[in-house]
Amino acid sequence: MVACLVLCTVGTGQSVQMDMVKSGFVGSTVELRCLFINSKPPVKISQVTWQKFYNGTKQNVAIANPALGVSVLPPFKDRVSFKHPVRQTTPSLEDTTIIFNGLLLSDEAAYICEYTTFPAGNRENMVNLTVYARPQSQMTLTMPTIIAQKHDKMRVATCLSANGKPPSDIKWETQLKGEPTFQESRNPNGTVTVRSDYILVPSRETHGQKLTCVVTYQTERFADTVMLNVQYEPDVKIKGFDGNWYLNRQDVKLTCEADANPAVTVYQWKLLNGSLPKNVEIRNNTLIFRGPVTHELGGTYVCDATNSIGTRSGLVEVNVTEFPIHPSTGPKMSQEQQSSGAAIWGAVGGVALLVGGAVLLFFFLRRRQRTFKGDYSTKKHVFGNGYSKAGGLPAHPPMPKNLQYPDDSDDEKKPTQIGAPGGFDGVERDFDGNSEDLKRPYFTVDEGESRDYDERTLAFQYDPESEINDDMVSQTDGSVISKKEWYV
C-alpha cells in the first residue's frame, strides 16, 4: 500500500525517490521502490546499499555494485531480490527496487536505500514497512452435547481469533440470553489472540438455538454458526382425557407425550391407589381402554418417562360421569340413557311446578288477608268535624247502637243517611237536616294516633261506649275491627 512519494534532493540536483510506507500480510510479496534522480551533468553511481533499521540498529540487506555485482545477505538471501538485473557490462543503478517474498513478521522495520556517488557523496531515503498477520478464527462448542443445569451457568461455546496483527473484534449474534466474556493475549512475535466465551444456563429452551460468532479483522469479516445440543430430562404430559368420559362411551385412550433429549426409551403406566383396569391395553406410551367406559376407569393415572438423563412423571385425574357434559358435541346417548334422562327431567319439572303453585297461593292468601274487611256489623265509626279544637266539640246526639248497611258489595259500605225519616231505629227525631253538625263528614281513626296531635290536628267526638280498644284494628274504609277478625 503506497501512501505518498518522498523526494530527497541535494543542492547539486541528485535525489532518491521512495514510498513513505508500505505494508503487506505475512507470507505475501511486497515491493520496496528506490529510484535515483541524477543531475546534469550526471554523477557516477559507485554502489547502492539496502539496510534494515530497527531499534536504532542498521543491518545490511542487499548490495548492488557495478563492478562486483549483486549481493544479498542472510537472513534475506532467499527472500529478497532486485527487481531489475544489475549487469557488469551495462550497469543500470537508477532503479534499485527490491522485492520481498514470503513476508515475515520480523520483516517489519524501516528500510534505507543509500546511493554512493562520485564526487557528490552519499544520497539516501527511507520507507517504513508494516507487516500484518491475518488471524486464524474459529468457533467451537465446549462439548458436543451439553447437559442442562437447573441454575448453574456454564461456558457453552468459544470464539477464537488467534495470532492476529492488529487484534480482531469479536461479537455474538443470537437470540439466547447469555453473557459473553472477552480476553486478549499478546504473543512474543507481536500478534494478538482474542478469545470470547459465551456463558448461559443450558435448558430445554436453549436446545436447538443458533449461536453465531462474528470476527472482524480490518475490512474482513468472518462468521461461524453452531447449533446448541442440550440434553435434558423428559417433560411429561398426558393427553386424551377431555373431561367428558361418561358411561358406555367407546374408544377412549390416554397418551403419554414427553419432550426429551435424548428421546425417551422407557414408558411406565400406573394408577394411584389401585391397579390398572382389566380392559386396558398398553402400547408403549399409550393406554387403550377396550369396551365401554365404566366407573372402574376413574382415578389418577401416572406416566413415568425415562431417558439417559433421568426420569420424570406426568399425571391426569380421570372422572367418569353418568351422561355427556356436552351432549350436542359428544357421542349420542343410548336409548336407556335417554329414557333415564327423560324420567329425571320430568321429576324435576313436576317439583318446579309444585313449588311455583305454592308460591302463587301464598301471595294470593296474603293479599286477601290484607284486604279483608271482616263483618261490617262489628265495625265502629268515629264521627267528628275534623276541625274543632280538643275539648271544644259541639254537642252531638247520641250515636245509635246499630247502623243499617246495604247488602255487601265490593264498594265502600256507607250508612244510611242520618237525616232520613225514622232515624236509625225507626223513631222520628227532631233533627235539623241542615244542621252544620250533620253535614260534617265522619272519620275513622286509631285512638293511638290522635294523642300526639296539636290543636290544629283533627279532633274527634265519639261515644264512650264506642271507644277503640287495643285489640281493635283500623280499616281503609274508615272502620275498625277486632284483631281476632283481622287475622282470621
What is the grid cell recorded at 165? 496483527
Indicate the average pLDDT of the chain.
Answer: 77
Asked if residue 71 has pLDDT above 60, the reply is yes
Whole-angstrom CA distances from 121 to 12, 88, 116, 254 are: 11, 22, 6, 103
What is the grid cell recorded at 272? 394411584
Which CATH topology does 136-228 take?
Immunoglobulin-like (2.60.40)
Which residue matches cell numbers 521512495? 18
Domain ranges of the chain: 5-132, 136-228, 233-321, 372-488
What is the grid cell recorded at 54? 530497527
Beta-carbon contacts of residue 403 (< 8 Å; ≥ 6 apart): 381, 415, 416, 424
The 3 state secondary structure assigned to 434-456 is CCHHHHCCEECCCHHHHCCCCCC
Contact 312, 258 (CB under 8 A): yes
What is the grid cell recorded at 187? 504473543
Q: State the DSSP string of 382-403.
A: EE--S-SPTT-PPP-PPPPS--
- Report the Cα–Cα distance between both ends of the chain, in Å, rounded: 125
Stronger pLDDT, 249 or 353, i.e. the higher one: 249
From the candidate CATH numbers 3.20.20.60, 2.40.50.140, 3.40.50.1370, 2.60.40.10, the one assigned to the domain spanning 233-321: 2.60.40.10
Q: Which pLDDT tens digit goes with each residue over 229-239? A: 999 999 999 99
Pairing of strands 57-65, 69-72: antiparallel
Q: For residue 27, what pLDDT is reported? A: 94
Q: For residue 395, what pLDDT is reported? A: 45
Neighbours of 291 (CB within 10 A): 14
Contact 178, 198 (CB under 8 A): yes
pLDDT band at 471 (very low <50, low <70, confident <90, very high): low
Asked if residue 291 has pLDDT above 90, the reply is yes
Stronger pLDDT, 82 or 427, i.e. the higher one: 82
Cβ-in-10-Å burial (0-12, 13-18, 19+) of 447 comes to middle
Contact 293, 340 (CB under 8 A): no
Asked if residue 429 has pLDDT above 50, the reply is no
- Which H or E run includes 282? strand 280-283
Tell me what percent of the residues of the chain surpass a pLDDT of 90: 52
Q: For residue 347, what pLDDT is reported? A: 60
Judge if pTM exceeds 0.75: no
Domain 136-228 in the same topology as domain 5-132: yes
pLDDT band at 335 (very low <50, low <70, confident <90, very high): very low
Which of the residue ranges 36-40, 119-123, 278-282 has the most confident prediction, judged by mean pLDDT? 278-282
| φ/ψ bin of 38: left (φ > 0), alpha (ψ from -120 to 50), beta (otherwise) | beta
Neighbours of 362 (CB within 10 A): 10
Q: Which pLDDT tens digit goes with each residue over 355-404? A: 777 777 776 676 665 544 444 444 444 444 443 334 444 444 444 444 44
From the candidate CATH numbers 2.60.40.10, 3.30.420.40, 3.30.300.30, 3.30.70.20, the one assigned to the domain spanning 5-132: 2.60.40.10
Closest CA relative to residue 436, chosen from 376, 367, 385, 363: 385
